A and B are shown apart, each in its own frame.
Chain A
Amino acid sequence: MKALILVGGYGTRLRPLTLSCAKPLVEFGNKPMLLHQLEALVDLGVKISMSLETEPLGTAGPLALAKDYLMQDNEPFFVLNSDIICDFPFKEMVKFHKHHGKEGTIVVTKVDEPSKYGVVVYDYENGRIQKFVEKPQEYVSNKINAGMYIFNSSILQRIPDPSAKIGNNCRIGPNVTIGPNVVIEDGVCIKRCTILNGAHIRSHSWLDSCIIGWKCVVGRWVRMENVSVLGEDVSVKDELYINGGRILPHKSISDSVPEPQIIM
């Protein structure tokens, strides 16, 4: 079997120890937290390898990163948060997971004050999860996510590939949101903008403080600034300058808009 341990985060709540040492390496019983987990996994016959994120990817990102490795066989795999300590009931987890035959298993644990946590609501007979409730104000369940999971490798297909494409030599940011299916070609500079679903920004353009609507096409060497807003499916021809232009949907712009104005 395989296992993925999610090591990362800034460990701010374990300061001052984490100012000197990464959280999974803080020792309990003269062994780092991580080592307690690794030893429990090795007892189960799990082999160890490592993949490194170059930037924080959230909690599901590392799964996508290790996708090829985890897909090598059709075996289920463990996922562990690195900051949990317990007696690791791995054998029981495997038995339970194989028994219900579904895609994933989450270990839950009982807590006294569920209003402090994200709780899991499930059927007591078969363990099927109904919902997750974050910090419930009314009692719904006293079981919380214990940070240990088993998944079938098929779960990896549920993690969406990022659909936006960004070319080489671009400078994106600060404060830029790029929507799904957006294409940004080479050498584009975007600052303080929202680029909506399916828009296409061609090479060497420069955008600051703009909203680019759905399915718009912005040509090459276009300069847009000063809260220019393109409605849906607007096309802006190459080499134009749009200064504070508000452009209604489905327009094709072939002349510069040098001063703020609404194009109907």
Chain B
Amino acid sequence: MLEFHKTKPSGTYCTILGTEATRTQSLEYGCIVENKETHEVLHYVEKPETYISTTINCGIYLFSPAIFKPLETIFKKNLEENYNFDLNTPSKEIIRLEQDILIPLAGTSKLFVYDTTRFWSQIKSSGAAIYANRHYLAIFQDTHPERLAKNGKGKPTIIGDVSIDPTADVHPSAVLGPNVTIGKHVTVGEGVRVRESIILEGATLQDHCCILYSVIGWNSSVGVWTRVEGTPNDPNPNKPFAKLATMPTFTNDGKLNPSITVIGSNVQIPSEVVIINSIVLPDKSLSGSYKNQIIL
């Protein structure tokens, strides 16, 4: 991105990181129309009602210091327009990047887009945590292979990408992966199964429990033979450029949309129960099984 920005004419204010989305999903993002040869931004619109472009704003910007000149102009203009004598309402000392900067700069040859085809996702819902975990672990294969657990004698069985903190205590009969992160000082008991999940610092997974598509919060405990299971909400793999959809928490008839199960910090889950598609707030001590519930 930096090299791309350096090749642009002096006086260029900004390069936006852009990526490709589907026509439908592009409506939920900032949409960029670019000159395909020069990558100059010709038009910018934030969350349009109708289709504009499948190139979307990734939320990463590279500015030249020259940007402070237009910023100053905009800031003063905003102040003037919103000036009032009422001391109780503060004047608007704000600049909105998209509306005040990007939209006016589009089509001025001073704003460019650098397109990436690499992994990019927004983290807007808890379900995204599992998706992000999976992609970061995949990146470790190239960048930090030493962070990924390997199979070996006297070690737990590892399937696919798994990261285990060195301070975690994992029983050799446990089976972990794919796409599992085990945090600091986590205890994983005998015959435990964890798949597509994140186990945060200090959590305890007791013998024979099974954790699927879930996040287990800091210092929480899961009892023996208990099942904690969520529902993945991955982008449609058959659609090119599909992004993780942001599902509303509730359906139209007021039911919780199935999502990954998230257990807050310091929660006690008893033995032999099942927790499915639920969200448990911190410091709860559960007494039984729960399905599709938010436990406040």
Instruction: Give me the interface of A with B, judged by CB distance under 8 Å.
Output: 169, 186-187, 189, 203-204, 206, 208, 220-221, 223, 225, 239, 241, 258
Contacts and interface: CB of A to CB of B under 8 A. Distances in A.
Nearest to A208: B272
A223 B207 contact: no
A186 B190 CA distance: 10
B274 interface: yes
B191 A186 contact: yes
B225 A189 contact: yes
Contacts of A239: 193, 195, 210, 212
B114 to A, nearest CB: 42
Given A223-B210, A223-B274, A203 B191 contact: yes
Given A187-B207, A187-B208, A241-B227, A206 B272 contact: yes
A217 to B, nearest CB: 17
B201 to A, nearest CB: 24
A221 B210 contact: yes
A241 B212 CA distance: 11
Contact of B208 (A204, A208, A258): A204
Interface in B168-211: 173, 190-193, 195, 207-208, 210
A241 B230 CA distance: 12
Given A204-B210, A220-B193, 5 more contacts: A187-B207, A206-B208, A241-B229, A241-B276, A258-B291
A241 B195 contact: no
Interface string B218-251: 0000001101010000000000000000000000
18 contacts: A169-B190, A186-B191, A187-B173, A187-B191, A189-B208, A189-B224, A189-B272, A204-B192, A206-B208, A206-B225, A221-B210, A223-B210, A223-B227, A239-B193, A239-B210, A239-B212, A241-B229, A241-B276
B242 to A, nearest CB: 23
Given A206-B225, A239-B210, A169 B191 contact: yes
Contacts, number: 45
Nearest to B195: A239
Contacts of B191: 169, 186-187, 203-204
List the 7 closest pairs (A to B, CB-CB), nearest first.
A187-B191, A221-B210, A206-B225, A204-B191, A204-B208, A221-B193, A223-B227
A241 B211 CA distance: 12
Interface string B106-139: 0000000000000000000000000000000000
A193 to B, nearest CB: 14
A178 B248 CA distance: 47
Contacts of B195: 239
A225 B274 CA distance: 10
A208 B289 CA distance: 14
Tell me whether chain A's interface is mostly helix, strand or loop, or mixed. Answer: loop
A187 B227 CA distance: 14
Contacts of B208: 187, 189, 204, 206, 221
A187 B207 CA distance: 8
A85 to B, nearest CB: 51
A239 B224 CA distance: 15
A29 to B, nearest CB: 56
Contacts of B212: 239
A204 B272 contact: no
B276 to A, nearest CB: 7
B109 to A, nearest CB: 55
Interface string B13-56: 00000000000000000000000000000000000000000000
**Of B195, B208, B210, which is in contact with the most chain A CB atoms at under 10 Å from its CB?**
B208
Contacts of B291: 258
A204 B207 CA distance: 9
Nearest to A203: B191
A204 B227 contact: no
A203 B209 CA distance: 11
Contacts of B225: 189, 204, 206, 223
Contacts of B193: 204, 220-221, 239
B214 to A, nearest CB: 13
Contacts of A204: 191-193, 208, 210, 225
Contact of B276 (A206, A208, A258): A258
B68 to A, nearest CB: 56
A167 to B, nearest CB: 10
A169 B210 contact: no
A203 B193 CA distance: 11
B222 to A, nearest CB: 13
Contacts of A206: 208, 225, 227, 272
Contacts of A186: 191
A186 B172 CA distance: 14
Nearest to A223: B227
A169 B207 CA distance: 10
Nearest to A185: B191
A203 B174 CA distance: 11
